[in-house]
Amino acid sequence: MVNKGGGLVSAGDWYHGSAEKYLYRSSQIRALSDEWQRLCEQYLPVIPDDSIWRYSRPLSSADPEQGWKLHLSATILTANRVLERIAPFLCGLSVLFKAPASLRALGEINIGLRHGFSQVGKIITVYPQSPKEAVSLAGKLHRLTYSLPAPKVPYDCQFQRKSCVYYRYGGFRSAELENADGTRVHAVRNPEGVLVPDLRGPDAAVPAWTIDPFPQRHHRRKKAASIASPLKTTFRAYGALARRGKGGVYRALDLSVSPPRFCVLKEGRPHGETDWEGRDGCWRVRHEEHVLSCLSNEGVRAPAVYASFEVEGHRYLVTEFIKGDNLHSLLLNRKKKLPIGEALRYGIQLAELLSGIHAAGWVWRDCKPLNLIVAEGGLLRPVDFEGACRIDAPDSAPWGTPAYMPPEQRGSFSLESCAPQDLYALGVTLHQVFSGQVPDPSKRLAPIGRLRRGIPPAVRKVIAALLQPRPQSRPNAQTVFEKLRRAYAELA
């Protein structure tokens, strides 16, 4: 669902007319970004060099070195409202606080990759002068921002249920400690004055040597967890494969069958990585479940869906665990390039997979070796379809991995289908399979013939055609499949 002029618009209505949607989204981004800049100039005038942060005032000698930090969480869609509500109040009290210099930086924080998972949701940081002031400010900030959608802050303590105010003990000024291996970490002083690590992980928000000054208004209040534990289900997660703002991917056991079977548990976090259309981690997981079901019904070798459920507002999808390494690892760990015949067999399979996905009415939008599992017998199985869109209802929001994204995704969106994005990614993947080189998004791919001898002319031509800058010039996946299969037959 998307908030548009105060009302809710369904995904089906929202995806009517790709060009119109692109123009609306672009104007929405500009308007919200300009408003954020205006608020920052008004309330956060201090801009340190080489920093993504802006501050309400300079740090003074009266400010403590460490203490109870308050974090206010927000999405890119609610950040302006949060700052607009709290900034006048904090500035009126001369309280030091900071926020990202742009909504783009804010979005990167909520993704949890570039700045770390522990930073998700830490959009506005407030530095109270004392524990008493921290408690007082938290209560007032909670009332000012109550009910605004926001992602949970991993590892911090939530001030109250349904609050976007969180707290933890930490350093206000830059202090570091050097580890035995030479790496440096943030540090705070314990009661004896000794520098100790300023930890940002589980159970570290309230160090053992401090006393939590915040009143326990709700006995059910809990620390914000990185994953809601689905204890009332028959699925048991035991290892993280990935973890970021929108949710995590975990190895798990399915205890509903005998004997228990391995599976993959995918988590969608509410308000996690909310995009400009209002789609969050929960939406992505629900969407992927729908895509996988559609593909499986059409005979595509996508992971089977075992179950889906919700726990504490988090959405979970349980899918088949496909035993094997991904194609990226297989290529990376080889000392030599794949034999031409083996590379062709993988190329034929991938082209057939894409042809089947497109015939089923979908565009993958994340075709790359990392998302291709080499299962038993060398069979390629595709994974990760949360960014997929209908072939006749293109999604103008960028999705995918830069090295595999075509030139048109960097410009204005005007296509009637996203299928050419898959075809370009197919070309890059084939290039990688035959050359053994991981593509660099900052460099143009060299003609495959310059990187390796012995590649059949028809294969060189089809790769070059798939990498054409004009989307309409790229051959469809079925044509690629037929040409590669013919080249393989001639090679044999």
198-215 pLDDT, tens digit each: 999 999 999 999 999 998
Domains in the chain (CATH in brackets) are: 27-197 (3.30.2430), 235-320 (3.30.200.20), 325-491 (1.10.510.10)
- Residue 208 CA, chain-centre distance (Å), reads 33
Confidence of residue 167 (pLDDT cuts 50, 70, 90): very high
Whether the predicted model's global pTM rises above the 0.95 cut: no
Q: Does 3 score more than 80 pLDDT? A: no
Closest CA relative to residue 5, chosen from 77, 74, 73: 77
Using a CB cutoff of 8 Å and minimum separation of 24, what contacts does 466-474 make? 466/423, 466/424, 466/426, 466/427, 466/430, 467/424, 467/427, 467/428, 467/431, 469/406, 469/407, 469/408, 471/406, 471/408, 471/415, 471/420, 471/421, 471/423, 471/424, 472/420, 474/420, 474/423, 474/424, 474/427
Confidence of residue 414 (pLDDT cuts 50, 70, 90): low
According to the model, what pLDDT value does residue 223 have? 45
Which of residues 15 and 116 earns the better pLDDT score?
116
Alpha-carbon separation of residue 241 from 7, 335, 365 (angstroms):
37, 26, 21
